[in-house]
């Protein structure tokens, strides 16, 4: 993953803030330039109309792109210092021109918005070392009804590769058995496979069907809460 994709993977641009920060509108793109490292380099950051961000570092002495920064594992201390300063520029842009989104895939974030609208619940991120692992739980009894996490696709299906976000939800065992015959459904990853199921958040399922299944999982926490109250 390139440095720009890594820094902005959980951030959405706020176009209204770009001009005040110093971005210039050029046709359908926003462009920002900043010299750094004693003016030896110039960071050129471009954001298109869909919010996609790209960047490059220009070597002002050579009047060319500084290709050493694109190396996967830069070895010299000099390149690492240039990289560190460039990263600070990107992080400052993120802090002033972007707002945080919880997850990386569009469908995951749409689902989170629907869950908030229905239940007023936001994801909790209980594990500092596991970025992107978010838990939805009933605030009344702290029971989980959904767990979202990033995963390598091949851990679910050896015929596929790449990154994917998944959601684990709780359903009736009979329904789980039937759903596992469909695309997008897998035995629960790292959870009880009898009562939980994994669903990929890659638009294999529609948003409405996903929310309907999350509703069923959420209902289990309500039932338990009522049983506790009745004792």
pLDDT along the chain (231 residues), means of 10: 85 94 97 98 96 95 91 80 96 94 90 93 91 93 96 93 96 97 96 97 96 96 56 44
Question: In the prediction, which pLDDT does 70 show?
Answer: 76
User: What is the three-class DSSP state of 44?
Assistant: strand
Question: In the prediction, which pLDDT does 10 show?
Answer: 83
Residues 86, 114: Cα–Cα separation, whole Å: 37
| Residue 24 near residue 32, CB atoms below 8 Å | yes
Question: In the prediction, which pLDDT does 74 show?
Answer: 64
Question: In the prediction, which pLDDT does 9 show?
Answer: 85
- Where in the sequence of the chain do the CATH 3.90.1150.30 domains occur? 106-230
Question: In the prediction, which pLDDT does 230 show?
Answer: 42
List all residues 6 or more positions away from 145 whose beta carbon is below 8 Å from its beta carbon.
Answer: 136, 137, 138, 169, 170, 214, 217, 218, 220, 221
How do strand 41-47 and strand 144-152 relate by DSSP bridges?
unpaired
pTM above 0.75, yes or no: no
Containing 33, the helix (H) or strand (E) segment is strand 29-36
Question: In the prediction, which pLDDT does 19 show?
Answer: 97
Question: In the prediction, which pLDDT does 228 show?
Answer: 46
| Residue 112 near residue 202, CB atoms below 8 Å | no
Fold classification of 106-230 is 3.90.1150
Residues 185, 179: Cα–Cα separation, whole Å: 6
| Residue 167 near residue 150, CB atoms below 8 Å | no
């Amino acid at each position: 993953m390139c440095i720009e994709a890594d820094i902005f993977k959980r951030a959405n641009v706020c176009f209204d803030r770009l001009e005040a920060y110093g971005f210039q509108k050029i046709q359908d793109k926003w462009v920002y330039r900043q010299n750094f490292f004693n003016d030896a380099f110039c960071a050129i950051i471009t954001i298109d109309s869909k919010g996609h961000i790209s960047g490059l570092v220009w070597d002002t002495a050579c009047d060319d792109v500084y290709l050493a920064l694109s190396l996967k594992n830069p070895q010299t201390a000099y390149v690492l210092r240039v990289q560190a300063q460039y990263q600070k520029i990107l992080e400052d842009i993120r802090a002033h021109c972007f707002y945080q989104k919880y997850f990386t895939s569009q469908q995951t974030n749409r689902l989170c918005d629907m869950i908030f609208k229905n239940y007023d619940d936001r994801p909790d991120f209980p594990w500092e070392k596991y970025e992107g692992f978010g838990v939805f739980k009933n605030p009344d009894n702290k029971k989980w009804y959904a767990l979202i996490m990033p995963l390598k696709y091949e851990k679910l299906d050896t015929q596929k590769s790449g990154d994917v976000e998944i959601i684990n939800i709780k359903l009736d065992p009979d329904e789980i058995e039937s759903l596992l015959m469909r695309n997008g459904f897998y035995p629960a990853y790292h959870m009880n496979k009898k009562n939980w199921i994994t669903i990929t958040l890659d638009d294999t399922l529609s948003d409405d069907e996903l929310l309907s299944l999350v509703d069923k999982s959420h209902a289990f926490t309500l039932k338990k809460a009522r049983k506790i109250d009745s004792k």
